Amino acid sequence: MAATMPAEPAAAASETVAAAAAAASAGTPSESLSEAANSAWSEFRASLQERAQLFSLETQRTGLTLVQLVLYAVMAAVLAVTAWLALVGGIGAWLVLHGGMHWSVAVAVLIVLNLVAAAALAWSMRGLVPRLGFPATVRQLQSITQRSHVS
């Protein structure tokens, strides 16, 4: 196998087969046709292995992204619950009793702070969603489809 793969393995394989056919018609031994077929087969296998590797890596990345999204969702839920508890709970009472705040201001401050933190996590989650669509695999498959329509 060559050290570097051609940019278009399918095109390179068809060129190899065409060259072998031309060599065979020129009177060279049938070994060159066999070598060309073996070379085309090797290039096809290498191309298939590269695509399988890409799919495997994107599957791993997608799994990790889903775990991260679930963790962010749990954290956002905990913060939302904290906002509810702050509405009802003792932190507001402490601010009222020891901070000199009016009770409605203390509750409003706690709710706003928790909701801002939850919104920041939701914004982070939104930025991760595009990674779930296997973008590199889709680009590879689209380029194959476009090449087959051009031919």
Whole-prediction pTM value?
A: 0.41
**Cα-based torsion angle of the residue sequence 96, 97, 99, 103 in order, rounded to the nearest 10 degrees:** 10
Looking at this protein, which amino acid is placed at residue 53? Q
Work out the average pLDDT over 61-68: 94
Residue 69, pLDDT score:
95
- pLDDT in the model for residue 137: 82
> Cβ(118)–Cβ(83) under 8 Å?
yes
- pLDDT, position 90: 75
* Least reliable range by pLDDT among 47-51, 60-64, 105-109, 120-124: 105-109
The candidate with the shortest Cα–Cα distance to 121, out of 151, 87, 91, 76, is 76
Please, what is the average pLDDT of the chain? 79
pLDDT of residue 140: 84
Summarised one tens digit per residue, pLDDT across range 71-116 is 999 999 999 888 878 776 777 787 788 988 887 888 788 888 878 8
Q: What is the pLDDT of residue 75?
A: 95
Specify the pLDDT at position 28. Answer: 55
Q: Could you give the C-alpha distances from 100 to 88, 90, 96, in angstroms and in order?
A: 18, 15, 5
Q: Give residue-wise pLDDT tens across range 116-134.
A: 888 998 999 998 888 788 8
Res. 65: pLDDT tops 50 = yes
CA distance 136 to 138: 5
